[in-house]
Structures are given as C-alpha cells and as structure tokens.
Amino acid sequence: MMSRSYTNLLDLASGNFPVMGREKKRLPRVMTVPGVISELDDDQANSVSSDVPSSLAQDRIIIVANQLPVKAKRRPDNKGWSFSWDEDSLLLQLKDGLPEDMEVLYVGSLRVDIDSSEQDDVSQLLLDRFKCVPAFLPPDILSKFYHGFCKQHLWPLFHYMLPFSANHGGRFDRSLWEAYVAANKIFSQRVIEVINPEDDYVWIHDYHLMVLPTFLRRRFNRLRMGFFLHSPFPSSEIYRTLPVREEILKALLNSDLIGFHTFDYARHFLSCCSRMLGLEYQSKRGYIGLEYYGRTVGIKIMPVGIHMGQIESVLRLADKEWRVGELKQQFEGKTVLLGVDDMDIFKGVNLKLLAMEQMLKQHPKWQGKAVLVQIANPARGSGKDLEEIQAEIQASCKRINKNFGRPGYEPVVFIDRPVSLSERAAYYTIAECVVVTAVRDGMNLTPYEYIVCRQGVSGSESSSEMSASKKSMLVVSEFIGCSPSLSGAIRVNPWNVEATAEAMNESISMADAEKQLRHEKHYRYVSTHDVAFWARSFFQDMERTCKDHFRRRCWGIGLSFGFRVVALDPSFRKLSIDYIVSAYSRSRNRAILLDYDGTVMPQTSINKTPSQEVISIINMLCGDVKNNVFVVSGRGRDSLGKWFSPCKKLGIAAEHGYFMRVARPPPGVGPTTPLGGVSKGLVAEKIFTAMAERGKQADFVLCIGDDRSDEDMFEIIGNAINSGVLSSNTSVFACTVGQKPSKAKYYLDDTTEVIIMLEALAEASDPTSSSSDESESSP
C-alpha cells in the first residue's frame, strides 16, 4: 500500500561527497549471449545499496536507446561487418553538450540482424572502436516488441489514436506486452554488464524503453538515472485506456529525472500520476518535482534542438553536391512551399495537399506560380492504415496536378524516396515557406533546419545571394512540439483545411520586411537552443536531482513493477522519550499539536471514540498552564467536540482547520475562530503567531501526525523559524508515526508508542488549580 507521506518537493539537502582519489575503472568484459528472460527477478540479494561511493572515478554517462548511433554494412566479401557513425543520430550529436572529459558509452540495438555466431566479435568491435554495447534481441521478441507493442499500442496511443477497436489494431495483446518487458530486460542486462553504479550516469531515451528504469533501479538503488520521452505524452483520458498504465508510470518514476519536449506533455504526465497513483507535485524555484516514497523525481521541460555545426557544414556542401542553382532554375518564377515529412499516418500530409488545393481555388493568382514540393521519407512501420494514407496521398497529388497543372507546371511535386540532409538543405534554401501539418508530433525539427538553411553560412554561394534579405516563413500545426517555441510562425489547426489554406496564402503574400523580422527572431532562438544546449541543460538538472543519492538511506520494496525505492534522510531517527521529556521540562511556553486517526487512535480501530487513558493524558497535559494543546484532525467538529467534551482546556481544529476551537484565546478574541483556508499548516501557523503576539513565543513545539495532511504542519515549523514566529532556539519535535518518507525529523513506530510518550510528558507536567487561564466553549 502506498504511503501518503512524502518528503519536501525538490528540497534536496546539500551534501558534499568525500574527496577521494580519482581512478579510471576498466569496463567489465561484455557478455554477448542473448536470451529470453522472465519477469522481474525478485532476489533482494542482487540489490546494491552501499551508503557511500567507493571512489569518485571519472564521470561517465551511459546512453541507452532502442538503436545505436551507428550504421552497419555487410562487407563485400560477405565476411564480417563494417560500421560507421550515423551522423544524423541525435544520440551522437548530444555529446557536444556534455562535459569534455566525460566518457560516453552507448547501449542499444542494431538496425541489422547479426547471426548469433558473429555476435561476440561484433560486440567486441563496437565496444573497442565506438564504445557501443549492442543488445541483440531474438527475432520473435524483436517483432513483438517493436512492430507489436511499440508500433501497435504505444505509438498510436501517444498520438491520441486508441488502438482498441477492430479498425485500429484490434484488442490489447498481452503477449506483446510480455515481449516489451522481455526486450527491456535484455537492454538492462547489457547496461548492468558495463556499469559502474557508483560513478556512472544513465540516460534512457524514448518510449521503447519506458520500463527499463525499474530493472536498473531494482539492481542499483542509488543509480543516477534520467529518462527523456521524444514522443508526445497523451492526456490522462487517453492514457488511462492502456491496460498496463500503472506499470509504465511506476517504472518511469524509478528514474531520477523525466524529460519532455513541452509543458503540455509534462502536464499530462503529472495529471496521470496524480489521478492514477495519487501522487502530488509541486513547482519550486522553477523546478517541478513529484514526491515518490521519499524521492523527488524531477520533471524537465526542454525541447530538443538541431546540431548547428552539422547543418552549417552541409550548407557548404549543398551548393556543390546538389547544385542549388539548378533547383532555382527548375523553379524559376515559381513560389516554392516545402513539406518534409515521414510517411506516417500522423504527419497530416494529405491535409497539407488538401490545403494546397484549397489555396489554389480561393486564390487563383497562385495558379501557375505556387508549387508545393512534398518530400516523403520512407515509412518506419507498416499496416493497413499506412497503406490507406499512401493511396490517399497519391490520389490527391494526381487530382491537384490534373485540375491545376499545365504544360511546364505541376502545382505538387511529390518526392517519395529517401532524401539526404544535403539534398534537403538545397530545397530549404529555395523554399519561400515550410508547411508542417502534422496532427500530432513529439517535436519535429524540420522548421529548425529550414530556418538555419535560410540564414545560410558565410562563404556559400546561396548565402551570398540571400545576404540582402534573409527571411523565412513557417506554417506549423499547433499540435507539434516545436510550435510553442516559434512565436513568429503562423499556427494552424491542420484539420481546418480552409484556415490552413489561408495561412499558406498569408505566408507567401507577407511583406519581405515582416518575413525578415520573424526570421531573425526564430534564428536567434534556434541558434542558441541547439542540441548541445538541450543535452547540457538535461545533464545539469540530472546532476542536481541526484546530488544527495549517496547521503540517503535507501530500501527497495515491492514486487514486479510495483518495485520502488524508499529513501529516508540520514537525520531521520526515532524519537527518544528521555530526550523530549528533558526538553519539555526546561521549557516555559509549549505548543502541542496532535493528529487523531493514526496518531492517538489506531487506523484499524472500529470504535473511534478515544479511550479513557487518552482523555486522562490529554487532560493532564492541558492542566499545565505552560501548555497549549490542540487536536488537529480532518474529522468533523461535531464528532471531535463530542469525543473530547471532557477536555475543557483542549483546543480543537476540525476538518483540517476549517473549524477551530481555541481553549485559551487572547484578550478580545472569541473562543471559536473560523480560518480562511483549509490546511493543518495554517492551523499551526495561527497557533504559533497567536502565542508570539501574546508575548509567549513557543520555546517547545511537539507536532505528531501520520498522513499526508500532517506534512503541512511539519513544513510550517521550518517556515515559522525563518520568519521569526518561532525562535531558532525553540525545541522542535516534528514526529511522524511509522518509518516512512516525511518532512518530520523524528518517528515513533505506532500509536502505542505515541501514547507512552505523551504519558511521559503528562507525568512531567506541572498541574495547576488556577482557572484564570481557562476559557471553555463548545465547537
């Protein structure tokens, strides 16, 4: 059962690691035998939970993704493989944002099928030359993992298409989920083989590996681990339809930092955690965090950027390799609108074609002048839906060219083949506008590439021609991740074909001065928020989030995907009765705040009426004029008033403080005080403030509770000290019931120990017969 008590959000305690010698650790030998695995291994003996790092070796980061950033090609003699870096891979480009002295190791699968007899040699070669560790998935698992669960369930669902009807992929297939788990377990085994858990960072990428954090956290409780989702995250109403919704959420929460491209994606994730797991999140000093069993899971919002150096180097080659001049000659006298999309059902290519057709109808002046060049990258998946959209696109192209085309003019030029970055750069250079009409997309970097290509680089022919006026125009869907960062773009709802057509007309009809201003604004953002900036920002936040890992006491609990790590502050300790009695005896003005259910009354008790023993102890505490005793509870005022009617000097805050009975009110203040808010924290603050205003600032504070609502009281104590309502010399005892993550510094095991402790304080009290301080009232 999930605890309802958590630590302070993103209140990470500062702790300095011991300075020790830095020594380079050798990579463990990479094992290369693949295998089908079972569910999570529940052998607790495998959990690593050392209290401090054994050494501070050179920092290293292990980047884990579905595919390695390398290209594989069979040798011409059919003997072995040759490998090269994939320069277009984001995983390779992000290295520019990491510290220069940081070693980077990649774990992932290859795009080709390697025979089992060659896997050992390939693994050693990739590790030695590329620092890559391949994960070899058996064919049956690979098919069900990638083409099954990833592409039939997660990908459609994250793009707001429910794959649970006969027309959209059929019902949920449990075997596909099991293959997804099996594949993630194989990835985890590859990471475990090479990791130095006390020194390494792990950065996991995308929806293919969303349960991987649980496998790694189970083995290494203090592993520093981040996860970044490169696809959209759907709203809770969509996500909740996934049969394994909680398993995936809990697995992701075993990360230390979870990244999203936009605030909307992060908001949807937080909403899912709140509605399905009952978790709370807070924003503090610009950081968002989820409280999860004593750990603060950071939420990072940072859209990825492009690799500026790569684009600029390609621009220098584009004039030679693709001859931009020839393209300009081909489209001489024409206004080129450009679309670059994957062949995917969510890219909205046909909606773009329909908008082009509508623009030519509504604005005949563009007939014979405007050309839409649509580049369609090969499809990554397959299926009936994809075949239908391909046929629809082909039909639209033929119809538009037939109705509006003429000799020497085709309004739509459809390029259905792989297009290199250098070729794309040439098209970007001549395009007056780029149009993106995806109905849902995680980020989409096409507009960024276009902006940089239109800016050009010094020394290139195309840049010299454009130097007089560098301008660009964008028509982008409001449903893509890059849209919020492009304030000068014309945003459209791609489903509204007429509005999109008008936006396309506006973009190419706009005055050059306005185009230039928008381009300059976009270029400033894109050039400063590149992939290196993104990677650096994410890694810095991961460092911050993980900085106290080795200072906390951690326990791994739970089975399967219910596994989580409970983290407690090392200063969290059991309350000593002798110690609190000693402080109690020395004090003169005391504030004692007691929760009811789970504190002085067991949660499991059927009869909730307080025992005579509890009534007697509370009366003894209230009998000491130095004490201000309150029961602060979520229960109603009628119940509390009836139960504690024998305790005439007891203050009562009912319904989390909405109704409050003050036993010893200051002069001029009635005994019953309505509060403006509903919070136990507000109750505590009112009590401390009232005592200070009466010249009796509390020098002893005891606050005991057992659930989430009581955490507000524990937190307010620290704030009261900082604001001067409480003295820094005040003896403070914030105590929770049970060992669990809490803002309290002390704990008692159960209600029995609470009553024993209160009885000890009652016996140390100084009873008085004076009635001058009494004020009795009913709630």
The neighbouring-strand residues paired with 48 are: 220
User: Parallel, antiparallel, or unpaired for β 659-661 and 132-134?
Assistant: unpaired
- HSE-up of 99 (CA within 13 Å, CB side)? 11
Pair (63, 192) in one structural domain: yes
Q: How many residues are present in the chain?
A: 779
In a domain, 28, yes or no: no
Pair (88, 123) in one structural domain: yes
CA pair distance 511, 84, nearest whole angstrom:
46
CA pair distance 723, 456, nearest whole angstrom:
56
Distance of CA 589 to the CA centre of its chain: 46
CA pair distance 261, 109, nearest whole angstrom:
24
Using an 8 Å Cβ cutoff, are 107 and 190 in contact?
yes
Query: What CATH number corresponds to the domain at position 408?
Result: 3.40.50.2000
Using an 8 Å Cβ cutoff, are 108 and 66 in contact?
yes
- HSE-up of 615 (CA within 13 Å, CB side)? 14
CA pair distance 669, 542, nearest whole angstrom:
51
- For every residue of 319-374, DSSP letters joined together read HHHT-HHHHHHHTTT-EEEEEEEES-TTS-HHHHHHHHHHHHHH-GGGTTTEEEEE
Q: Is the dihedral of CA 582, 584, 589, 590 positive or negative?
A: positive
- SS3 at position 535: helix
Pair (707, 755) in one structural domain: yes
Strands laid side by side in the 573-574 sheet:
573-574, 746-748, 731-737, 700-705, 590-594, 627-632, 651-654, 659-661, 672-674
In a domain, 432, yes or no: yes
State the first-to-last Cα distance of the chain, in angstroms, to the nearest integer.
35
Per-residue b or e along 758-778, where b marks 16 or more CB atoms closer than 10 Å to that residue's CB: bbebbeebeeeeeeeeebeee
In a domain, 533, yes or no: no
CA pair distance 538, 544, nearest whole angstrom:
10
Residue 253: the pLDDT is: 96
Pair (299, 403) in one structural domain: no
CA nearest 448: which of 529, 554, 502? 529
In a domain, 160, yes or no: yes
CA nearest 497: which of 447, 442, 446, 435? 435
Pair (346, 264) in one structural domain: no
Pair (130, 216) in one structural domain: yes
Residue 18: the pLDDT is: 35
- SS3 at position 63: strand
CA pair distance 427, 334, nearest whole angstrom:
13
* Number of domains comprising the chain: 3
CA nearest 188: which of 62, 60, 49? 62
Pair (286, 318) in one structural domain: no
The neighbouring-strand residues paired with 105 are: 62
In a domain, 5, yes or no: no
In a domain, 368, yes or no: yes
Residue 724: the pLDDT is: 77
Per-residue b or e along 47-71, where b marks 16 or more CB atoms closer than 10 Å to that residue's CB: beeeeebeeebebbbbbbbbbbbbb
Residue 643: the pLDDT is: 87
Pair (158, 192) in one structural domain: yes
Structure tokens at 144: 């069900």
CA nearest 164: which of 236, 235, 232, 243? 243
CA nearest 512: which of 543, 473, 555, 544? 473
Pair (116, 231) in one structural domain: yes
CA pair distance 367, 216, nearest whole angstrom:
59
Structure tokens at 220: 């290494």
CA pair distance 778, 581, nearest whole angstrom:
31
Q: Is the dihedral of CA 137, 138, 141, 144 positive or negative?
A: positive
- SS3 at position 415: strand
CA pair distance 684, 723, nearest whole angstrom:
14
Question: Left if phi > 0, otherwise alpha if psi is -120 to 50, otherwise beta: which for 554?
Answer: beta
Pair (105, 239) in one structural domain: yes
Amino acid at 30: V
Residue 322: the pLDDT is: 60
In a domain, 773, yes or no: no
Largest interatomic CA distance in the chain: 110
CA pair distance 629, 623, nearest whole angstrom:
10
Residue 415 — φ and ψ, nearest 5°?
-110, 105
Q: DSSP letter for 152, please.
A: I
Pair (550, 619) in one structural domain: no
CA pair distance 120, 730, nearest whole angstrom:
65
> Tokens 């920002």 — which residue?
537
Residue 34: the pLDDT is: 34
Structure tokens at 314: 């390609």
Query: What CATH number corresponds to the domain at position 617?
Result: 3.40.50.1000
CA nearest 629: which of 593, 675, 583, 671? 593
CA pair distance 293, 568, nearest whole angstrom:
9
Distant-in-sequence, close-in-space partners of 94: CB < 8 Å, separation ≥ 6: 63, 531, 532, 534, 535
> Tokens 């004020």 — which residue?
775
Residue 169: the pLDDT is: 54
Block means of pLDDT (10 residues each) for the chain, length 779 residues? 32 32 38 36 38 54 97 86 94 94 96 92 95 96 95 92 63 92 97 94 98 95 95 96 96 97 96 94 87 91 95 77 80 96 93 98 96 92 81 96 94 93 91 97 95 81 56 96 95 97 97 95 96 97 88 77 81 89 91 88 81 90 89 85 86 81 54 59 85 88 87 83 83 88 87 92 74 38
CA pair distance 244, 431, nearest whole angstrom:
45
CA pair distance 497, 355, nearest whole angstrom:
5
User: Parallel, antiparallel, or unpaired for β 474-477 and 370-377?
Assistant: unpaired
Q: Which helix (H) or strand (E) holds 81?
A: strand 81-85
Pair (144, 236) in one structural domain: yes
In a domain, 456, yes or no: yes
Domain that holds residue 755: 573-763
